Structure 1
Amino acid sequence: MEKAFNLVQVRDNFKTNNASYFLKIEANYWGESTRALEGEDPVPWAWITELFVEKYFPDCVHNQMEIEFLELKQGDKSVAENEAKFTELARFVPEYVRSESQKARMFQQGLKPEIRRGVLALQLKPYPFIVQAALVIEIDQKLAAREKADKKRKIDDVEETSGQGGSNKKSHKTVGRNKNKELRG
């Protein structure tokens, strides 16, 4: 909301009244009751925002977001999905991403080891370059895995058609045993 007020250059003494228009039902009721406590005097915007944060974003929620941010790992997510979650959580813990280098370092720590190694080897500094490099490495790894699977599938197909597959070996052994029985019998 603060961004919207800055965009249209709303003065502080009008922010409190305009904010109630944008708030959802429960938050709107809260805002109206808070303003009612102050009576006719305009409620200072800084005070309203402080109370709003205390009510809707208490310390326990902030602490949980901080823990989630610090423990964020890529896991099964794509680099793009991990970056989106990183950006979402970083808003709540600006103390960990004050500079581009801090932000880059925190993001790198959560990448899969094989992607992190590739990014670290490039020694990139700005956060956007690190994200881009991680995306490229991830795409390359997926292509390499697909090529490896295709190559294995082709080798398996060749073995089956050339008679070296497991079922053909078994039939040769069975025929050999039957011949031995006939010779003995």
Structure 2
Amino acid sequence: MEVSVEQRVILAVFVLKSDALEWWEAIERTHGREVITWQHFVELFRKRYVPDSLMVQKEAEFICIAQGTQSVYEYEQKFAELSRFGPHVVDTEARKPRHFERGLREEIQGLISRFKLETYAEVVDRALIAKRNCNHLSKAND
């Protein structure tokens, strides 16, 4: 949802239930009238519900991400999901497409690496096209 930064905490709190809502009410009691920013809310929430060991595990998973037997579409979804755990790995527009490309299977990577694509969207699009072309070639050779 597109909401202002000021409204994010209000919206997030609105959807909290049971234990999470009780946690938030305790936070409000301890912080009094202090305005809690979105960034601070996320830090507090992660500290309570996302253990550091899980963050480290997910970051490592993102650093070593590879397509393997997944479709390009499934790989892209996993890449997008895990990228938030390793923002420093894809902290520039140039690094994100390269990291995605390195994780593709060799036959797809080989087809798209010659294009020197600059954006993440271009690399994903070409990978989807390359995979479709690989499928057509393998069917023609059968």
TM-score grouping bracket, smaller chain normalisation: 0.7 to 0.9
**What one-letter code is carried by the residue in structure 2 that aligns with 1:44?**
V
1:76 is paired with a residue of what secondary structure? coil
Q: What TM-score comes out, normalization by structure 1 length?
A: 0.67
1:96 is paired with a residue of what secondary structure? coil
**1:45-64 aligned within 5 A:** 45-46=36-37, 47-64=40-57
**What one-letter code is carried by the residue in structure 2 that aligns with 1:32?**
E
1:103-143 deviation line (CA, Å, top 9, x unaligned)? 01110110001111111111111111111111111000101
- How far did 1:66 drift? 0.5
Residue equivalent to 1:136: 129
- How far did 1:62 drift? 1.2
Residue equivalent to 2:94: 101
Paired residues, number: 140
2:9 matches 1:6: no
Distance 1:24 1:5, change over 3 A: farther
Name the structure, 1 or 2, with higher relative contact order (CA <8 Å, separation 6+).
2
Match of 1:26 among 19, 23, 34: 19
2:109 matches 1:111: no
Residue equivalent to 1:44: 35
- How far did 1:24 drift? 2.9
- How far did 1:48 drift? 4.1
Identity %: 31
Distance in 2 between residues matched to 1:5 and 1:137, nearest whole Å: 37
- How far did 1:19 drift? 4.2
Distance 1:131 1:34, change over 3 A: same
Distance in 2 between residues matched to 1:140 and 1:52, nearest whole Å: 44
Residue equivalent to 1:159: none
Structure 2 gap segments, 5+ residues each:
none
1:38-65 deviation line (CA, Å, top 9, x unaligned)? 4xx3243145443222112232121111
**Larger Rg belongs to:** 1
Aligned residues of 1:20 and 1:32 also touching (Cα < 8 A): no
Structure 1 gap segments, 5+ residues each:
150-185
Residue equivalent to 1:160: none
RMSD: 2.2
- How far did 1:5 drift? 4.7
Q: What TM-score comes out, normalization by structure 2 length?
A: 0.86
Higher share in helix: 1
